[in-house]
Structures are given as structure tokens and as C-alpha cells.
Amino acid sequence: MAFHPTIGGLRLPAPAAAGPMQIIDLDLLPSDGDRSFCHEGDPLFAVVDPDQVAQDFRAAFGRQADLQVLFGGAPFQTRGLPLGYQVEHRVYPGRREMRIYGHPSGHYFKSWRTWGVHLTSLLKEDLQNCACCLCASWRTNAPAHAAIVVGLPLVAGGAVPAALAATVAREQQRVREEAATGQSVDLLVRASEVVDLPEWQRVIIQEAVQSILGRGR
């Protein structure tokens, strides 16, 4: 059976490509997101971790054969959201409604499926031809300097390869920092276990351990 997924449509699954899974942190992509349209601190809106509520979307999105081309034919998985975008729950009595804010039009996406069309355009560095519901309706009213009109700054070598490399570098840095933190804590714990250590020094060491562990969270 042949699979021909529609870009951003998430309507048909594609066979998983061979090769290791690639992770891409979406906040490392060029973005048109505008955080001023999000609702920080508003009691009527609750910020949501996108990685906790979008598993099905990410699985379907990562299987699209037309997008896998951008990833060298290997399967990929997204993490986070592009800068300026935020998943929120609009809180009503007895229910919640998911919305994705940050589109420069000021409007919001009502589902992961409609958001996927816009994300595809960001991955392809082609907002000028974005067919998402918000860009399509906003196009005629967008200001002359809007990304949908002038496009996002192009990344040398492509936005996806650059973001993939930056994601790997970020993960390697996290591993190094965790290892360094573990070594520091281990040394401090050993120091605190010295039998004749004055109590005031033991307290200082314990506070230092708690401070280091707190920064690592």
C-alpha cells in the first residue's frame, strides 16, 4: 500500500524509515511566535507542558514521509514549541479548552492538527506560503514587515539540520553538567562524613549540597 501524507495534514501514516530516532528541540528553529499574545499569570489560563499533552500529534507528525526528507529520511521526534508559542488551557467552570497561542495574528490554534500545518512551514522555512488557518486568514491584513510577508531569516545549511545539531549539543552539555554536579555533590557528601568535622562546617556543606541540587532541577 502506498502512503502519500499531506504536508501538515496528519491524515495518513507513513512507514517508519530506517535509522536512529532524531530529536529536534523546536525552540531552536527560526520562529514567528509572539509571546505577547500568551497569558502569563492570567488565572483564566493555565500553561501546559506541550510534551505532556501532544504525544499522539508528535507520533503522527514524525511519521510523515514528506517531512522525513528534511531529516535525511530518518524518523524524528519533536520536543517543546518554537519560541513565542505556548500551549494553554482556557479555564471554564467544569471544563478546559486547549489553545496554542503565539501566532503573530493574535489568534490561536484550536487543535494540534491545525498547528501542524504551521509547524510544517516553520520546518520548511516557508511562512510566505503557509496554508494554516491563521496565516490564510491573516495574509491580507499582515503588516509589511511580518514574517508571513518577508519570510524568516534563512539559516545557512537549513533550519532543520542546524536545529538538530544544536539539540545534540544541548543534550551533551546537559549530560556534562549533570556529571559535574554529581561529582561536586559526591565530594561534599564525603567531606561532611569526616568524623571530627565541626558541626558548623557540616551545616555549611549540607546547605551547599542543597543549593547545588536545587540549581540542577
Calculate the alpha carbon distances from 12 to 4, 6, 24, 62, 171 in Å: 7, 7, 22, 12, 32
Measured at the CA of 85, the angle between CA 81 and CA 89, to 5 degrees, comes to: 100
Residue 89 reports pLDDT greater than 80: yes
- Is pLDDT larger for residue 105 or for residue 69? 105
User: Alpha-carbon distance 191 to 203, whole Å?
Assistant: 11
Predicted TM-score (pTM) above 0.85 = no
Q: Please give the helix or strand (H or E) that residue 154 lies within, else none.
A: none
In whole angstroms, what is the distance from residue 16 CA to residue 3 CA?
11
| pLDDT score for 132 | 95
Asked if the model's pLDDT at residue 123 lies above 90, the reply is yes
Residue 157 has pLDDT above 70, yes or no: yes
